[in-house]
Amino acid sequence: MKKIAILGSTGSIGTQTVDILPSIEAEVVALTTNTRIDLLEKQARALQPKMVCAFDETAAKTLKIALADTDIKVLAGMEGLISCAAESGADIVVTAVVGMVGLLPTMAAINAGKDIALANKETLVCAGELVMRAAQEKHVKILPVDSEHSAIFQCAQAAQGNRLEKIILTASGGPFFGKTAEQMRHVSREQALAHPNWSMGAKITIDSATMMNKGLEFIEAMWLYDMAPEDIEIVVHRESIVHSLVEFEDGAVLAQLGLPDMRLPIQYALTYPARVACKVPRLSLAEVGKMTFFAPDYDAFPALSLAKRAAQEKGNMGAVLNGANEAAVGLFLNDKIAFGEIADRVAHALETVPYRKQITLDDVLESDRLAREIARS
Ligand code: NDP
Ligand code: MG
């Protein structure tokens, strides 16, 4: 029985992780939420973890009362999140919280020798260098949950020690494919939240609309697979059937295909190297009929170039890109700024926060703080 901690169990990835649990042999030892304590209580009663955490302190107090008749430990805040990651007795930690709030718990889990099923891409964008180094030192596996990175991971198993020459990341293109920056500038929150293929949390859905999500994934792939930015290509694939591809030195290109459903990559991260039956409906290529591919439009989606620039510069620029983006997306979701302003504010933060090549965890936290401040001002 694998012991699993799920950070962010009440979110889109978190609930889908809970959904596939019956397919795998697993015992849940920890669950966390921010404020959705009704759902967390339900999950806790069903799965009987050792501990749970509500990041929000007020929510945690209510949750503690709700679970008073059980012997489940109820924790709060960052400290609680870190305990759930590192001290719950987990073998593997699913990082399904949204945002750079996942960084410290992920680092704590790695330092405690836990494998990571990584959904929380912001962690790698902010501190990929530090996270991958720590994982290597602690002999910890970072197993990708993100569908593109899972596809690359699955294809790369054919490498047999040969070098990957190129990674080709597919992108759905989001709800605004084919529009110009001008046409997109004042789209509404509802329009931006209407993703054509995937149902996900609000933040990543907005990132998909700006295509910052693909920029974040570009950086995520760079760190996960130790690739140079020049060797990572992005291609828009509207149907989200080909989840990504790898190219070898002889020019052979391998892809992983499937219907757009996160439960397969989540499950594979938890059962790797084994494959077990999965609830996800099977792919019928005849039903799909036609698949289309396009070069990305860098003029319409400036977030892509901003992320590529942060990938080239490395150092603290990933943290700046991500911090500014999280703040700007938050402003957009609260109707404070226009859609087109998200990328403007990220660009401004990249220009303004001083560049640091060598970074520590403290530098990452400080760059994140500064970037958010600039993006909000
Ligand atoms: P959701 O917003 O649906 O869920 C996020 C989870 O984190 C919830 O449990 C939420 O609690 C919790 N949370 C939110 N804010 C905080 C905080 N400040 N401190 C602690 N916990 C917090 O996000 P998704 O599931 O969509 O995404 C999670 C991660 O997975 C992201 O990094 C995303 O990029 C990545 N990912 C998601 C995919 C998807 O299909 N959804 C696909 C690939 C990657 P509460 O319920 O109270 O809000
Ligand atoms: Mg993805």
Cα 223 to Cα 133, 311, 314, 371, distances in angstroms: 10, 9, 10, 21
Distance CA 305, CA 309 (A): 6
Query: What per-residue string of b and e applies to 234-272 under the rule 16 or more CB within 10 Å gives b?
Result: bbbbbbbbbbbbbbbeeeeebbbebbbbbbbbbbbbbbb
How many Cα atoms are found within 13 Å in the side-chain-facing hemisphere of 192? 28
Pocket test for ligand 1, best of 6, 98, 125, 368 (most atoms within 8 A of CB): 98
CATH of domain 2-145: 3.40.50.720
More confident residue, 146 or 199: 146
What is the mean predicted confidence (pLDDT) over 151-173? 97
Amino acid at 376: R
Q: Is the pTM of this model over 0.85?
A: yes
**Residues 246, 153, 309: CA angle, nearest 5 degrees:** 65
What is the mean predicted confidence (pLDDT) over 113-125? 98
For residue 196, the model assigns a pLDDT of 87
Q: Are 60 and 29 in contact (CB under 8 A)?
A: no
Could you report the per-residue pLDDT of 62-112, keeping only the tens digit for each?
999 999 999 999 999 999 999 999 999 999 999 999 999 999 999 999 999
Ligand nearest to the CA of 120: 1
How much is the mean pLDDT over the chain? 98
Pocket test for ligand 1, best of 42, 204, 220 (most atoms within 8 A of CB): 204
Assign 290 to helix, strand or coil. Answer: coil
The percent of residues above 70 in pLDDT, for the chain, comes to 100
Among the atoms of ligand 1, which is closest to the Cα of residue 205? 26
For residue 174, the model assigns a pLDDT of 96
Measured in Å, residue 215 CA sits from the centre of ligand 1 at 18
Distance CA 40, CA 45 (A): 9
Could you report the per-residue pLDDT of 223-281, keeping only the tens digit for each?
999 999 999 999 999 999 999 999 999 999 999 999 999 999 999 999 999 999 998 99
For residue 198, the model assigns a pLDDT of 86
What is the mean predicted confidence (pLDDT) over 199-214? 97
Ligand nearest to the CA of 172: 2
How would DSSP label each residue in 29-79?
EEEEESS-HHHHHHHHHHH--SEEEESSHHHHHHHHHHTTTS--EEEEHHH
The percent of residues above 90 in pLDDT, for the chain, comes to 98
Nearest residue to 241 via CA among 287, 182, 303, 306: 287
Please report the beta strands in 69-134, taking only residues with DSSP state E, as ranges in sequence order: 73-76, 92-95, 115-118
Residues 6+ apart with CB under 8 A from 355: 313, 315, 316, 317
Among the atoms of ligand 1, which is closest to the Cα of residue 121? 32
Ligand nearest to the CA of 122: 1
In the chain, ranges of CATH 3.40.50.720 domains: 2-145
Where does the pLDDT of residue 290 fall: very low under 50, low under 70, confident under 90, or very high at 90 and above? very high
> Residues with Cβ within 6 A of ligand 1?
8, 10-14, 33-36, 55, 96-98, 101, 119-122, 146, 198, 200-201, 204, 262
Could you report the per-residue pLDDT of 359-369, keeping only the tens digit for each?
999 999 999 99
For residue 327, the model assigns a pLDDT of 98
Q: Are 253 and 176 in contact (CB under 8 A)?
A: no
Q: Are 30 and 52 in contact (CB under 8 A)?
A: yes
For residue 372, the model assigns a pLDDT of 98
